[in-house]
Structure 1
Amino acid sequence: MIIATVRVRWSVAMRRLMVAAAMLGTVSAAHAADMPDLPVLRGGFTDGLSKTTRNWDGAYVGGSAGYTTDATDFSQSVVGLTNYIFRDSVLQQPTANWSLMSKTNTQGVNFGGFVGRNWQWYDAILSLEGTYSYFNNLHTQTSGHNALVITNPPGDNPPAGTTDNYNVTLTGTAAAQVKDMISLRGRVGWDGGDFMPYAFFGAAVGRMDVSRTVTSDVTLTQIVTDAGGTTTATTYAVPAQSQTQSQHRTNAFAVGWTAGLGIEYCIWDGLFARVEYEYVRFSPVMNTQVTLNNARVGLGYKF
């Protein structure tokens, strides 16, 4: 009797538990249907929760155009010529470092192309790139004049009571024109999705025409004081050091280095645009040193 009663009560409890579970499941399903359709529940993420990456890896090619400022330092341009004129004389040392002319600036436009290869590791991008730039009418020139009296220079041994005054006048002109350049540079970039900012550093070789001319006019004034205190001054011409020397080099190659910053933007598929700034410094050619600042915009395609 007792066992039968327990079985009845257990059966009633189980039916009640099953009815409660069914009701709870119905309520949960209705509540879930009213919830917003979150992509997280579907195993995805919204654009705000993830970064859109782009494949920058691969070879690319393109063209560019821009603006260039040229700073040419002519301060030491004629030193090689004056050293030749005053060679083996007492005037070579005191005139060796005369700054006869100064720095001159000019500007022009540039056109060119580039080809390279990107290697991408996660967000980091390394590149090796070759460029060519043509400069339109990037020509500058200057002139200078200097006069100085050099008294008893080192190595000069006048007689007792005699003072040697060398009157040296130098007149010089110089010109330089940068025609074009090539560069090989390494780039380090960052994958910012559709944008890729980058920095670069490399070697450059420029082709330029350089000319220089200097004319020297030298006289010697000897001031002699005798034992009685009488002073006389006599001026002599010095033809050996009074002459004109010129030098001109066409298509001279100057090596240098380049560095700069830029950013690329993917327009569509492999098509991209770029904006960059480049600094270039060449080694001196005939004591004339050229420095360039290039601003460029470009269009390219990555394969």
Structure 2
Amino acid sequence: MIGIGREACGRSQRISPMRIAGLCGLFLVAFGTAASAADMPVLRGSQGMTFGEPVYFRWQGTYVGGHASYSSGTSDFSEGTGDLIAYMLNGTTIESEARVSKWTTLPRAGLSSAGWGGFVGYNAQWDDAVLGIELNYTRFNLYNSASDAVGRSFQTSDDYFYNIGVASTASVKMTDLASLRLRGGWAASWFMPYGFVGVAVGRADVTRSATVELTATDVSGSSPTRPNLAYGPVTKTDDRSGAYGFGFSAGLGIDVALMANLFFRAEYEYVRFGDFNNLTINVSTARGGLGLKF
């Protein structure tokens, strides 16, 4: 029994030559099929889409240009002659108690003018983000003037009764406006909207004049009676040609590429001068122009 089992086991472990040949044939057929499949052309749409790098219009570089403009604004003359009045009434009781120099005698006034100018700047660009610095200049003729007079009666602590009249005039003619800006823009293909903030300087001819006249009557009832007082009319004038004022600017605009190196510009700028020789001036300007970039 044991001998028969060993002999049977020996026969079951041997692989016949026919079986080996069959296995080799199946392997060759499978390998050939895979190779043929690898050589087959790729069907359209069987692979995912491949996207290239985005292309942005080139705004980077130095640029120069010119523009035409229209400006309008307001000039606040209300405190334009206060220092002149304070100088004439310096050390008087009526000034220290009634503060005559603070009386508002001049109103706000509007001013407008057409103009022209130019600009130069540099843009740096990162994909569709553009940052730059620009110097902008406008030449125009913004002129306005105002005049007024006020009279009041007032009793002071020294028992004098005052009748006082104040007349004031002021005029301004602004001729030049320049602003240095920092710009931020979006390169939206062939057009670029942008915003900016900066500092501004303006030049103007400013004329101011104030006249003071008063009488004072003793109402103390003292004996002997004190003398009555009279002053004026006295006028003080301040004329300044080419006076400078400083302020800030802000605005919005758009550059539109007409050619690779030529662009059209439209923008709005607001400028506020904090103290222009005791006058407060606000200027709003709309511009349209052409620029050349390098």
Determine if the alignment matches structure 1 residue 244 to structure 2 residue 240.
no
Partner of 1:111 in structure 2?
A: 116
Asked whether the 8 Å contact 1:71–1:103 carries over to 2, the reply is yes
Q: Distance in 2 between matches of 1:120 and 1:103?
A: 44
Determine if the alignment matches structure 1 residue 253 to structure 2 residue 254.
no
Partner of 2:19 in structure 1?
A: 6
Q: Distance in 2 between matches of 1:200 and 1:82?
A: 40
Determine if the alignment matches structure 1 residue 97 to structure 2 residue 102.
yes
Q: Distance in 2 between matches of 1:244 and 1:67?
A: 37
Partner of 1:292 in structure 2?
A: 283
Paired residue type of 1:295: A
Post-superposition offset of 1:73:
0.7
Paired residue type of 1:62: G
Q: Distance in 2 between matches of 1:113 and 1:79?
A: 37
Q: For residues 259-280 of structure 1, what are the alpha-carbon distances to aligned partners after superposition, in whole Å with 9 as ceiling and x for unaligned?
A: 2222322222121222222121
Post-superposition offset of 1:212:
1.6
Q: Distance in 1 between matches of 2:245 and 2:55?
A: 44
Q: For residues 80-116 of structure 1, what are the alpha-carbon distances to aligned partners after superposition, in whole Å with 9 as ceiling and x for unaligned?
A: 2211221232222321211111211122223110011
Larger radius of gyration: 2
Asked whether the 8 Å contact 1:80–1:286 carries over to 2, the reply is no
Asked whether the 8 Å contact 1:165–1:222 carries over to 2, the reply is yes
Q: Distance in 2 between matches of 1:25 and 1:8?
A: 26
Paired residue type of 2:91: D
2:151 to 112, 122, 147: 147
1:65 to 61, 68, 90: 68
Asked whether the 8 Å contact 1:76–1:101 carries over to 2, the reply is yes
Post-superposition offset of 1:152:
1.1
Q: Distance in 1 between matches of 2:148 and 2:54?
A: 60
Kindly report which structure 2 residues correspond to 1:154-193, keeping only aligned pairs within 5 A, or say none.
Answer: 157=158, 163-193=159-189
TM-score, structure 1 normalization = 0.79
SS, match of residue 96 in structure 1: helix
Asked whether the 8 Å contact 2:243–2:277 carries over to 1, the reply is no
Partner of 2:198 in structure 1?
A: 202
Q: Give the 3 Å change call, closer, same or farther, for CA 131–150 of structure 1 in structure 2.
A: same
Post-superposition offset of 1:16:
4.3
Task: Among all aligned residue pairs of Structure 1 and Structure 2, give the percentage whose two residues are the same amino acid.
Answer: 32
RMSD: 3.0
Paired residue type of 1:298: G
Question: More displaced, 65-74 or 275-284?
Answer: 275-284
Question: More displaced, 208-217 or 283-292?
Answer: 283-292
Post-superposition offset of 1:246:
2.1
Paired residue type of 2:289: G
Q: For residues 237-274 of structure 1, what are the alpha-carbon distances to aligned partners after superposition, in whole Å with 9 as ceiling and x for unaligned?
A: 613x4322222212212222222222322222121222
Paired residue type of 1:139: Y
Q: Aligned residue pairs: how many?
A: 278
Partner of 1:160 in structure 2?
A: none
Post-superposition offset of 1:25:
5.6
Post-superposition offset of 1:291:
1.4
Q: Distance in 2 between matches of 1:175 and 1:164?
A: 35
Question: More displaced, 186-195 or 105-114?
Answer: 186-195
Post-superposition offset of 1:195:
3.1
SS, match of residue 19 in structure 2: helix
What 5-or-longer segments of structure 1 have no aligned partner? 158-162, 228-232
Post-superposition offset of 1:198:
2.7
Asked whether the 8 Å contact 1:104–1:140 carries over to 2, the reply is yes
Q: Distance in 2 between matches of 1:81 and 1:299?
A: 46
TM-score, structure 2 normalization = 0.81
Asked whether the 8 Å contact 2:94–2:156 carries over to 1, the reply is no
Post-superposition offset of 1:21:
4.1
Post-superposition offset of 1:148:
1.3
